């Protein structure tokens, strides 16, 4: 599918001044992505950066740029357009650079940071893979999700209210696919990284989801599977609630571990991108995870769903 460059002007004019620049670091090859187009994500930044997760900033560094959201859907058609490349980032790893190794040996090899968007049905499904030992960014999976039980008018109102303020509603309409197709593509992505195989009982191999709260996998994924009339995949049966680990590791007040922003403020980690744009929130949660790994936090499964009763058991008695 080819997307009109005219429609991209709308998004380009939406963005305000960028946050402070990130250091110039080696990029990951994007040759596996044959398409290109525009992005989304209004810029924002808070507080000073944390030295355990990011190298010192330099004045010669390139400025921060919002991520191209057509690129994250593998549908970017403007990789040969220098104006587009100047305005938008096509390297997810740039916001997730580290200069240290994890201080604590982990029981898992990879963490899959997930932060869903959508109250009625899931609208956005972003996942970022982090190496448990090196804390390094490995890969990402990002899809916009089209509701299946809503009228077109309701969908349009829903998307305008959710993504219109970010200026990326057009990207959503151009690329969103049903949840069942998202899961098929996601499972193919997991298999590509040797994290999933039906011969393994459909559980994750040496990896675990990391979420900011229990809502994503305790409530929303089962609800969406019910709406989409599919069985809950076994790999969604357990996860790590980063808020619980953060609260119990740093011994903070509960209010300081109540959400992504409060955890970032507590550790003085800058926020990049637009809050409540799923891919940006996922990157920021991954930054909190990297900081905690650098500080020596042990990441253990904090919630597990019983296959028979579907009840969820929690690791911590004192949890959020």
Q: Among all residues, which ones are annotated catalytic?
A: 117, 276
How do beta strands 124-131 and 110-114 pair?
antiparallel
Query: What is the rounded distance in angstroms from the CA atom of residue 22 to the CA atom of residue 206?
Result: 31
What H or E segment, with its residue span, contains residue 130?
A: strand 124-131
How do beta strands 312-314 and 303-305 pair?
antiparallel
Residue showing tokens 């995870």: 289
Burial class (CB in 10 A: 0-12, 13-18, 19+), 292: buried
Which residue from 259, 63, 40, 285 is spatially nearest to 164, judged by alpha carbons? 40
Residue 199 has φ and ψ, to the nearest 5°, of -70, -15
Cα four-point dihedral sign 219, 221, 226, 228: positive
- In terms of phi and psi (left: phi > 0; alpha: psi -120 to 50; beta: otherwise), the region of 57 is beta
């Amino acid at each position: 599918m080819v997307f009109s460059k005219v429609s991209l002007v709308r998004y380009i004019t939406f963005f305000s001044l960028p946050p402070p620049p990130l250091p110039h670091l080696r990029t990951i090859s994007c040759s596996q992505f044959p398409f290109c187009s525009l992005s989304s994500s209004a810029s924002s930044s808070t507080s000073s950066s944390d030295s355990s997760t990011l190298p010192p900033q330099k004045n010669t560094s390139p400025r921060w740029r919002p991520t191209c959201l057509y690129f994250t859907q593998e549908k970017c058609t403007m990789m040969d357009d220098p104006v587009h490349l100047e305005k938008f980032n096509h390297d997810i790893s740039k916001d997730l650079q580290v200069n240290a190794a994890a201080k604590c040996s982990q029981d898992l090899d990879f963490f899959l940071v997930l932060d869903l968007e959508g109250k009625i049905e899931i609208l956005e499904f972003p996942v970022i893979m982090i190496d448990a030992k090196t804390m390094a960014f490995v890969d990402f999976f990002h899809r916009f999700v089209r509701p299946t039980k809503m009228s077109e008018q309701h969908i349009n109102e829903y998307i305008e209210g959710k993504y219109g303020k970010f200026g990326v509603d057009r990207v959503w309409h151009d690329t969103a696919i049903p949840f069942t197709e998202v899961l098929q593509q996601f499972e193919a992505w997991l298999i590509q990284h040797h994290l999933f195989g039906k011969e393994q009982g459909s559980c994750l191999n040496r990896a675990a989801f990391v979420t900011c709260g229990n809502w994503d996998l305790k409530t929303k994924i089962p609800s969406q599977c019910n709406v989409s009339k599919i069985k809950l995949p076994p790999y969604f049966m357990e996860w790590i609630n980063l808020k619980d680990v953060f609260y119990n590791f740093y011994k903070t007040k509960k209010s300081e571990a109540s959400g992504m922003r409060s955890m970032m403020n507590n550790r003085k980690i800058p926020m990049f991108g637009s809050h409540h744009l799923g891919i940006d929130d996922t990157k920021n949660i991954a930054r909190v995870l990297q900081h905690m790994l650098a500080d020596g936090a042990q990441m253990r499964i904090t919630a597990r769903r019983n296959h028979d009763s579907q009840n969820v058991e929690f690791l911590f008695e004192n949890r959020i």
